[in-house]
Amino acid sequence: MAPQTKIGSRPTGGGAAEAEEAAPAKKGGNKMMLIVVGVLVLIIAGGAWYFLMGPGAGGSADAAATDAHAADAAATPEPSYTLGEVMTVDSISINLEGGHYLRLGLGLQLVEGAGAHAPIDTAKALDAAIALYSGHTQEELADPAIREELKQELATELLHLYHEEVVDVYYTDFVTQ
């Protein structure tokens, strides 16, 4: 059995051999640590390049949005008409469910030259709006998504009613009570 050393005393004899054995293990650990740190630095540098100068750069968000818009435009054929004036339709009151009502005013986006052979009759637009909005609840019409969906349905209906002379519709008045 090896003699035990006292606390605070210096190791004797075999201590140098033990120190030499421990040194190579520590040196190998340092190499591994350097490799790990080097890999992390490369990953961080690559990420920084990607987000600051590469495809993920902040300025390319606008380019990506432009590319997305261009892709949508390519998928949607260019309209074969030129936009004309917007004809406003006087506001009307439409009965809603529960005794409430909607005051609705519309703007009809006409194509250029619309109404050249016959004046645009706004009664068709009002009739379509009354049929579409009647019976809805005030809460439904308070939801912007539902309001936009109804507006798109009305625009599609008006496109057919006016034989493609009215191509879009805008709200000029939209008040529920």
pLDDT in tens, 42-71: 888 888 877 777 776 655 445 555 555 555
Cross-sheet strand order for the sheet of 83-95 = 83-95, 101-111, 166-176
Q: Which residue range is the domain that position 132 belongs to?
A: 83-176
State the pLDDT at residue 141. 93
Residues 59 and 104 occupy one common structural domain = no
Residues 73 and 87 occupy one common structural domain = no
Residues 96 and 151 occupy one common structural domain = yes
Of residues 70 and 163, the one with the higher pLDDT is 163
Does 108 fall in a domain?
Answer: yes
Helices (H), strands (E): how many in the chain? 5, 3
Residue 19 host element (H or E): helix 15-52
Does 29 fall in a domain?
Answer: yes
Mean pLDDT (whole number) for 90-101: 94
Residues 92 and 22 occupy one common structural domain = no
pTM for this entry: 0.54
Is pLDDT of 25 > 70?
no
Is pLDDT of 171 > 70?
yes
- Residues 78 and 50 sit within 8 Å (Cβ to Cβ): no
Does 8 fall in a domain?
Answer: no
Mean pLDDT (whole number) for 154-166: 92
Q: C-alpha angle with apex 12: 7 to 14, nearest 5 degrees?
A: 120
Residues 100 and 40 occupy one common structural domain = no
Number of domains the chain contains: 2
Band (76; pLDDT cuts 50, 70, 90): very low
Mean pLDDT (whole number) for 87-110: 94
- Residues 169 and 109 sit within 8 Å (Cβ to Cβ): yes
Residues 18 and 87 occupy one common structural domain = no
Residues 28 and 70 occupy one common structural domain = yes
Q: Please give the share of the chain, as a percent, with pLDDT higher than 90.
A: 42
